[in-house]
Structure 1
């Protein structure tokens, strides 16, 4: 089984954090989004993972080599963001035999074991939603196979939203479909969408079934990232629900606190991620992600994301602070009194 992870795109909805990190490496619950995805995928035998990279994509290979040294990986750059199918076409040489395609900003829990014995042409992972008009949906026919895919339908024929995780029994068929899509210049919103290539396969007779994902979490916006942070902290909580002392600070689970973080006279949690090298003094932090080597002094933060090496002082509000930023009172700054 080969896996193609589409990790291009500018990540504009996650700025300022994606000014300095590719969106696949934005941290949530103590590790990059991509790490959580790979941990879920590796529940089945994987022959190779192909990363389609774009803006800041050069950051992915060092991360993989350090954290997943035994993973056989290939890297393909998409220099111009022309869409998902265009990205897959760039990886066509790797599309041989069974393969999975997915996006680098989608967290999931799903039964992947079934794919090791799948006999259909493909599987679409879906989740029922109350408002299908907001999503791309799969429409099963009377025989149970998907007859069409519709992007944000005004009159939905199904409530099965596709989560962006697909299995193809023959990667070669997918490669032919994305090539045909591009040759015919079939675009949605100016881009070559993967769903349109899959529709070509369906029109050619491909039999796709659906499989319901137990969990589907987006990480493409600050709000969505914090929602995913809460889900992951609950999932991996090993401290129970009772508050506990960590030095002079109180921790209210669920939280992630790196061993190298320094907490002094603070209240942490619930739903706080405190990453490596972080210093928190005299502060309250809940429902927030504090990234590597950031400093918090006398703050009360909720629903906040604080970037690497950022410093926040004497603040009582919600923040979305990028790397190397500084916010709050600074009493040591020199004041120019020339014209006082």
Structure 2
């Protein structure tokens, strides 16, 4: 089993932040979103991974490297333009060969991980292989470990949603197989939305070559899956366990940060002076200085940051080498190297790298911010 992570795209829904960085590298609990997907694949036993990259390819290469620190080997495949998810499969053909593979959207976050999803697929493949053997339908010339010997089809991950008209939606037949896929239907056949995690066998390569670009000029993976169904291939599904968040917008990203912070374990490695209080599940990295401040978890604070005369409230992630003084901050994400000085309250905010948020004359109000890298904001 191989892995294919899609990390192209312009990240337009997170601008201006993503004018200067890859959306897949925006941190959740001080770790880039993309890293969670790589770690999930490694935990599922997938060690050969290709990452499809676009205009932000160098930043992603610099962050991920060879994959050695994750226990995987990473290959990079450059997509010249955002031509669709099925186009990513098309250009990854040489890497994928005839192996089964997991395809994963690089800005997705899943609570359940991938291990169970992959294990269910492998179990179904083994069951299909046994049935094929019993019916003497298996070609004896194929080795038992070959993907085709298990007739491993395709498997998609689905989640019930309250607004299915906003998603690709699957229609499930009485035997549990997927019988139809509809993109953003006016009259949805179900409330089961495509999550953005798929497993395919080699038959998908014929499918992506057979389909035509959609009205928006892209090769749609939903069209390729629908082609599999129309040509007699079985497409299985699994229902998502736990939460799923597309981190491509500010508010879902903050919600994802909250959910991940709820799972952290307290670890205080930095300096906390005698006049400060660090309460609850808080991670304070080495080199952090907390002076005359209160930090109420869940919170993570990155290496080298300084917190002084400040209240940091729950569900806040502060990156490395930040300075937060004379301020109040909660339910927010602050990226590396930013300064927040003299701000009475910041909440529900996403602040980019090397941002300066400083107060002019004293003015009391809560702020809601989405700031790109190297911004500077003054309160009048």
Common fold, TM-score beyond 0.5? yes
**Mapped partners of 1:11, 1:284: distance in 2:** 29
Aligned residue in 2 for 1:16: 16
Contact kept in structure 2, 1:243 and 1:250, CA below 8 Å: no
Q: Evaluate the alpha carbon distance shift between residue 210 and residue 248 of structure 1 in structure 2; reply closer, same or farther with a 3 A threshold.
A: same
Contact kept in structure 2, 1:293 and 1:309, CA below 8 Å: yes
Alignment of 1:1-340 (within 5 A): 1-65=1-65, 68-69=68-69, 70-95=71-96, 96-110=98-112, 111-112=116-117, 113-119=119-125, 120-168=152-200, 170=201, 172-181=202-211, 185-214=212-241, 215-238=243-266, 242=280, 246-299=290-343, 300-314=345-359, 316=365, 317-328=367-378
Between the two proteins, the alignment pairs up a number of residues equal to 325
**Mapped partners of 1:115, 1:236: distance in 2:** 30
Q: Which range moves more in the overlay, 287-296 or 253-262?
A: 253-262
Structure 2 unaligned runs (5+)?
Answer: 126-151, 268-277, 285-289
How far apart are residue 188 of structure 1 and its match? Answer: 4.5
Q: Evaluate the alpha carbon distance shift between residue 80 and residue 243 of structure 1 in structure 2; reply closer, same or farther with a 3 A threshold.
A: closer
How far apart are residue 108 of structure 1 and its match? Answer: 0.9
Q: Evaluate the alpha carbon distance shift between residue 94 and residue 118 of structure 1 in structure 2; reply closer, same or farther with a 3 A threshold.
A: farther
How far apart are residue 67 of structure 1 and its match? Answer: 6.8
Contact kept in structure 2, 1:243 and 1:251, CA below 8 Å: no
Query: Post-superposition, which runs of at least 4 consecutive aligned residues in structure 1 deviate over 6 A?
Result: none
Question: C-alpha deviations, 1:308-340, integer Å up to 9, x for none?
Answer: 11110117411111111111169xxxxxxxxxx
Per chain length, whose mean CA-contact separation is higher, i.e. which structure has more relative contact order (CA < 8 Å, sep 6+)?
Answer: 1
**Mapped partners of 1:165, 1:75: distance in 2:** 19
Question: C-alpha deviations, 1:17-66, integer Å up to 9, x for none?
Answer: 11111111112211111012222222211131111111212211221127
SS where residue 206 of structure 2 aligns? helix
**Mapped partners of 1:13, 1:73: distance in 2:** 27
**Mapped partners of 2:16, 2:312: distance in 1:** 24
SS where residue 262 of structure 2 aligns? helix
How far apart are residue 307 of structure 1 and its match? Answer: 1.0
SS where residue 45 of structure 1 aligns? coil
Q: Which range moves more in the overlay, 263-272 or 239-248?
A: 239-248
Q: Evaluate the alpha carbon distance shift between residue 319 and residue 144 of structure 1 in structure 2; reply closer, same or farther with a 3 A threshold.
A: same
Q: Normalising by structure 1, what TM-score?
A: 0.90
**Mapped partners of 2:43, 2:350: distance in 1:** 30
